[in-house]
Amino acid sequence: MTGVSRRNFLNLVGAIGGSVALYNSSRAMGLIAETGPVSNYQIKPADKGAKKIVILGGGVAGLSVAYELQMAGYECTILEASHRIGGRNLTVRHGDLVDELGNANICKFDDEPNLYFNAGPARIPGHHQRLLGYCKKFKVPLQIKANANRLAYIHETNLFGGKPVRAGEYIADARGFMSELLWKGGNQGAFDEMLTKEDVENLMGYSRFFGDLGLDGSYKGTGRSGSLNDRMLEHVKVKPTQDFTEVLKSRTGLMAALTSENYDWGEPLMEPVGGMDGVVNGFARNLDAKIILKAQVQGIHNKDDGVTITYQHKGKLHTLEADFCFNNIPAHFMPGIDNNLSPEYMAALSEFKRGNLFKIALQMKERFWENEGIYGGISFTDQAISQIWYPSHDINAEKGVILGSYSWNDDENEKFAQMSLEDRIKVAAQCGDKIHPNYSSYIESGVSVPWTRMNHMMGCGAHMEPEVQDKNFAILQKAEGRHFLIGDQISQHAGWQEGALASADNALRVFSDMRTQAA
């Protein structure tokens, strides 16, 4: 069978989902090694010559390093430049500061605990065992978060009459038509040279069920798409199918069809009850580390027997001497910070590009989507907003916060970044109106987070050109003197907390090996 080669499939997914999707699919298809089990190495305990640790940046990687080292008897200090810990694990609620450079604003959502917005990471698959392990350890309650939803929509400006189509309808049609082709190919002997007669018979049988074909192998719609009538009282009256040519053209349809196929989006997904920052609060409850907020690092200098950190806090410069340093600062800031790291190391760091992911969340005065049968999940559109996420929690409540835009298109994200908050809401509203009737009339307030403009972040989704990444990661995933770089940036999973935790895990392993060898 050579019709759809594995390579072609990967190219297709790559074209739509970007490199992260490609990586994830590759892993799901067994081309790349699985995330290993959570490491079980023992961190060498603190002693006289190795006791004081400084952690630069209170993001998820930094918090986990602090926790693990604390357990092994080290004294940790976390220097965090912004007004809060958590990094891009950011849940925005009523009254919270959205610290966008040049456009700082306060969240105007109602003062209600279930009206929140996870501006950074927002979903956890079952195989992110490091993160789920911490949730368990810190008793962070989790709930199921719907990601794919067959009753959510796909919407294409120039396909299907510009009208939203239920994802399930599209998926059923796509499978039906594909299956019809397979069945007919089998029936006409197209696979006779590749397959045995028995294989062909099985393929045709499989296709019939896979696509819900008629006995003659044709696809004429299916009850899997729903029904034109009340299917509780009457026999299902099958909906007419979409046009096959349009089905093949629809990239949003393909996204909807593949959502659950992506290894990191495989159902069921989870989220902490009450907001993703439940993870950060879990760390905070269990950390003894000294955490200094609004402490901006100005210098990092390795010495033979330690590390000197210079930082500014409350208008004064301070110097902190530590035995080791774990650096969670976004790599693109490093050339602006004084340091004596080697030229090779700084050259490797300089290859990072800033990602510009953008999200907007809208408080809706009614949960109108639930009246359309949508409870959680994602609608996909070819418009600037790309996605609409519906909340899985607080079903049947009066109000809800939906994610009104989340795109992987750099140009679209940059356009949003260049708008005022009001204009961002306006564009999100206009796009939403094409999918849900009167969408804009439900909007009460909006919050946006353009990560490329967030103070002390200036980016999300750090990446390197694939051809230089391996070489540079080999340098950056090792110790540089007594300095260890951490963060999702040096994982293969930028933008995921599990990537950040894996980087911390790796750094601690290197640290422990280094200390064991020195002993």
Q: Among 38, 417, 475, 510, indicate the residue that binds another protein (CB under 8 A).
A: 417
DSSP per-residue letters across 277-318? THHHHHHHHH--SEEETT-EEEEEEEETTEEEEEEEETTEEE
Indicate which single residue of 153, 183, 352, 439 sits in contact with another protein (rule: CB under 8 A). 352
Least gap, CB of 349 to another protein (angstroms)? 8
Q: Tell me: is residue 121 an annotated ligand-binding position.
A: yes
The number of beta carbons lying within 10 Å of the beta carbon of residue 263 is 19
Among 26, 39, 70, 103, binds another protein (CB under 8 A): 103
Site string for another protein, 294-333 (x = CB under 8 A): --x-xx-x------x-x-x--xxx-------------xxx
Q: Is 72 annotated as a binding residue?
A: no
Binding mask 480-499 for another protein (x = CB under 8 A): --------------------
- DSSP β-ladder status, 290-292 and 75-79: parallel
356, two tokens: 């510009």
Position 467 contacts another protein (CB under 8 A): no
Burial of 55 (C-beta count, 10 Å sphere; 0-12/13-18/19+): buried
- Bond preceding residue 268 cis, omega within 30 of 0: yes
Cα gap 356→358, rounded to integer Å: 6
- With 0-12 / 13-18 / 19 or more C-beta atoms within 10 angstroms meaning exposed / middle / buried, residue 299 is middle
Q: How far is the CB of 330 from another protein (least distance, A)?
A: 9
CB of 418 to another protein, least distance (A): 5
Binding segment for another protein among 139-147, 393-401, 413-421, 507-515 (CB under 8 A)? 413-421
Torsion sign (Cα): 211, 214, 220, 225: negative
Q: Which is nearer to another protein, 170 or 416 (CB)?
A: 416
Nearer to another protein, 22 or 334 (CB): 334
Helix (H, G, I), strand (E, B) or coil at 271: strand
| 458 touches another protein (CB under 8 A) | yes
The CB-side HSE value for 418 (13 A sphere, CA atoms) comes to 6
CB closer to another protein out of 375 and 408:
408
With binding defined as CB under 8 A, does residue 380 bind another protein?
A: no
DSSP category for residue 155: E
Interaction of residue 105 with another protein, rule CB under 8 A: no
Do strands 296-303 and 338-339 pair parallel, antiparallel, or not at all (unpaired)? parallel
Contact residues: another protein, CB under 8 A: 81, 101-104, 296, 298-299, 301, 308, 310, 312, 315-317, 331-338, 340, 343-344, 346-347, 349-352, 354, 356, 414-415, 417-418, 452-453, 455-456, 458
Residues annotated within a binding site: 80-81, 120-123, 297
Residues annotated within a binding site for substrate: 123
